[in-house]
Amino acid sequence: MAARRLAEFSPLRFHGHRFQNPSKGAFAHALLLSICLLFCAVTAARAEEKFSFATTPGKLPKDVVPRAYAIRVAPDLEKLTCEGSETIDLEVLRPTRRLVLNAANMEVTLASLAGVPGRAKPLELPPELNAKAETLSFALPQELPAGKYQLALSFRYKLGQQAQGLYYERYDTPSGQKKTLLATQMEPADARRMFPCWDEPVFRATFQLNATLPANFKAVSNLPVTRETPGANGAKEVVFAPSPPMASYLVALIAGDLEEVKGEAEGVQLRVLTTEGKRDSARYALESTKRILAYYNDYFGLKYPLPKLDEVAVPGGFGGAMENWGCIVYNETALLFDPQRSPAATKERVLAVIAHEMAHQWFGDLVTMAWWDNLWLNEGFASWMGTKATDKLNPPWQVWLRAHAAKEHAMTEDARPTTHPVQQPVKTERDAIDAFDAITYQKGQSIIRMIESWLGEEKFRDGIRRYLAAHEYSNTTTADLWAALEESSGEKVADMAQGWTTQPGFPLLNIHRSPLDTGHGEQPLVFAQERFQVGADATSGFDWQIPVALAGLPARADDAPLPHPLPQFVLLKTERISWRPNSNEEENFFKANAGEVGYYRTCYADPVLAAQIRARIARLPPADQLNLLDDAWALTEAAQQPAAGYFDLLDALRGDVNAAVWEGILERLRAIDTLEFGRPGRAGFQQFARNLLQPQLDRIGWEAKADEDALNPVLRDGLIAALGEFGDENVVAEAERRFDEFVKDHDTSALPADLRPAVFTLVGRHADARRFDQLHDLGRRAMRTEDKQLAYRALEGANDPELCKKALALALEPDELPAPAVARQLLPAAFHGEHPDLAWEFVRAHLDALLSRLPSFEINKFFGRILDQSSDAAQADDLEKIAATHPEAAGSKDFAKTVEAIRQRAELKAREVSNIDAWILQRNARNRPVTP
């Protein structure tokens, strides 16, 4: 399920201060904050050990372990049921009177245990199913001594459409048929819904799968098919080779009427499989896989260990991707790219998601975290490695620079009281689902990149190679990783890194000049750290060892770009230190967090330093420009400086031409526009935004150029959409003209793929009944999930309130979009439009119907997705009422985070929007031409 959330945390996206409204939610917040601080203090205090099976956390007893599964499943697609059986080779490590494993939503019809001393025949066992605990237990008539045994089980269950365990999915084909696909989704704890098992990652075993399927189905699993034999009634028996020892959440089975493209690289057989009519869109994924596989084999120093790697695109009911060993499953929007119909952003996303999932074949599959409290060892590393590979293979995309937006999303979340450490206690399945968040992914990635920058790429890579080689086909904890990096680098990595993974939040680095003269004519810089927080009182007892990257830049009078020298690293181990630059006399300005490789905020508390920043930002490298902009906005969120500080820096970058910088600016402007929603100054802000953005669109134009910057297609789409959303009538009119030509004549030259997201968005926003129906028809007829979701997202943003209501009603129609796409695509688009009140009214009225169609993971994330921009405190009040009636949705940590985020954005709006409006008025006055 790794990149099942990748899209939420990697592309662009974007909060407030302390609760000052003494509402009835204030006590709940205060209690939550106290619990969070206690929880974080306990977490930070514990010293983690290297991996040990016996001491690994979990819910199942460890006196019995599985060694090998032989599983048979026979799904019935007419009755939508599945009959199954399995034999499990067990090893009893310590004498026991009870066997306990996992099973959920099934009936166990037979159970027996072979190898019991003194019995020639297997011992029949009465099953004890605990639905709440999701366990299957067997009480033994006598103590079972240590040794090897074989447990045989028969079971049956209903097949569902929710992506949990083995499920089915209906989809349309170009021939007009409805077809059915079988697929699995196991992570974190749903293998138990397909077959009884020890469903915790530490219980590695081999899995050999046998499936009875329709004769026309093509079936794929973790290992190749070894035998297919005809069966009765139009069925066939498919037998797969046994897997290496692995965790149960990696087991995969996908079966249906599939097409494929195939190839070979590095001695590995490669296939990309799709549903009918989509094979040609898989060729880019196949070629990308070949390039990534060669890069990873070299980087890791360990060859991909399986004989084949299949990648399967499923149409719509599954979000993101899942790294099953040897059989990666993707939503087709994350795997398929049609050069004629997909925008450049899709090309980038496909390669990035493949790189993330393939990284898991080493980080997560070959070497697996022992328990979900170390999930970041899987997800943080796959995020870092995927970004590194994408950047290496496509330098013009400036991937690390653009990963800044996802890092900002994590830091925004990490500054709030409801944050958690990267390594957090996990006691339940719901806790495990909660762990899949921006802290695990993007903070984890950022910490890894910071350590790599500090140690150096070569030493870091050598440490990663040691780690993988020492623990292949086994499990690890974070302590194992630190040990490997210490061996390769000679540095005390554990001492430096532990605070970053076991403490919540991150530091603010305050920098000023010491009044003391060093005798060299220079004033030393003083670095002082404190925890950076938004919406909470200052807390003590937290400190980090910060590898501060400093770049000394010469003061020059010209406007040429400043050089980007290799930074000096200063390791700040205490609360404050003084540091004298090791530089020549010309270098008298220093930018901290040079290259934006650190996971911390920086405040130039000294007025002279702050003035130097403002004077030089336009000449700094793009990464440092983005870093300074977003640190300034974060300080505004924390009420440590007014919004004018951000806007002064933004104003200085008007002439900048870096596409990645403008992507970041666009995201921030949109976030501020949501704060302005309903306020009298919104028109003035939108005019300011149009004046800022229009020169950039004039520079790159609507039409692509043969020699243009590789990022211009993505920037062009963003500029057009933003200008239209900010009320540029000319941009809206041009979008409507191009859309009308596209619909009338099917003229793709009028609407190239790179322009379609922006044009569809604007046409949907300004739609009349005719264009609304045209968009709806395009969505209904689309065979490609990408095309379908594009049209439906556009509908949900309709400015016309009656059309908005009509679009919202589509969320309840199962034939329109699958439920996960409704939660991930339709409803967020409605909340991001001009009628979030109507969207919220709709959700409240139909909440039971909406949640009933979602799997557990989607329920946990539901409110956080749709209300990710809300600054309406009344909606936070409503959520607290919903908590009492819908515990299945409100019991997650994500729910508490959502309530807190809304209240903080509401406080930020009340505090700063008037200041923003005042800054804009003052700027307009300064720049107004004088009338003679």
- Write out the catalytic residue numbers: 357
Q: Is 844 left (phi over 0), alpha (psi -120 to 50) or beta?
A: alpha
- Count of alpha carbons within 13 Å of 214, Cβ hemisphere only? 15
End-to-end CA distance of the chain: 66
In contact, 783 and 790? CB cutoff 8 Å: no
The one-character DSSP state at 52 is: -
Considering only CA atoms, give the Rg of the chain: 28
Angle between helices 622-637 and 644-652 (to 10 degrees): 160
User: Closest Cα partner for 346 from 865, 817, 789, 869?
Assistant: 789
CA distances to 45, 396, 495, 538 from 530, in Å: 18, 37, 18, 9
In contact, 147 and 223? CB cutoff 8 Å: no
Question: DSSP letters of 85-131?
Answer: EEEEEEEESS-EEEEEEE--S-EEEEEEEE--TT-SSPEE---EEET
- Count, residues in the chain: 932
Residues 6+ apart with CB under 8 A from 869: 671, 674, 831, 832, 905
CA distances to 84, 129, 174, 187, 311 from 256, in Å: 19, 32, 16, 22, 14
Residues 6+ apart with CB under 8 A from 510: 527, 528, 529, 530, 603, 605
In contact, 444 and 380? CB cutoff 8 Å: yes
How far is the C-alpha of 583 from the C-alpha of 551, rounded, in Å?
A: 10
The residues with which 369 forms a beta bridge, in sequence order, are 476
Q: Virtual CA dihedral for 684, 686, 690, 691, nearest 10 degrees? A: 20
In contact, 611 and 566? CB cutoff 8 Å: no
Q: Calculate the CA 573 to chain-centre distance.
A: 31
Q: What are the backbone angles phi and psi of residue 503, rounded to the nearest 5°? A: -105, 145
In contact, 312 and 240? CB cutoff 8 Å: no
Q: Side chain identity at 517, as an amino acid letter?
A: D
Angle between helices 457-471 and 444-455 (to 10 degrees): 120
Residues 6+ apart with CB under 8 A from 529: 507, 508, 509, 510, 543, 544, 546, 572, 575, 576, 600
- Residue in this structure with the two tokens 């599939």, named with its chain if needed: 258
Question: DSSP letters of 197-263?
Answer: B--STT--BEEEEEEEEETT-EEEESS-EEEEEE-STTEEEEEEPPPPSB-GGG--EEEES-EEEEE
Element (H, E) at 894: helix 893-927
User: Closest Cα partner for 416 from 882, 19, 818?
Assistant: 19
Range 221-254 burial, b when 16+ CB lie within 10 A, else e: bbbebeeeeeeeeebbebbbbbbbbbbbbbbbbb
Annotate 819-882 with three-state secondary structure: HHHHHHHHHHHHHCCCCHHHHHHHHHHCHHHHHHCCCHHHHHHHHHHHCCCCCCHHHHHHHHHH
Six token digits for residue 658: 């870096």
Q: Side chain identity at 805, as an amino acid letter?
A: K
Label residue 831 exposed, middle or buried (CB < 10 Å: 0-12, 13-18, 19+): buried
- Most distant CA pair in the chain, distance: 110
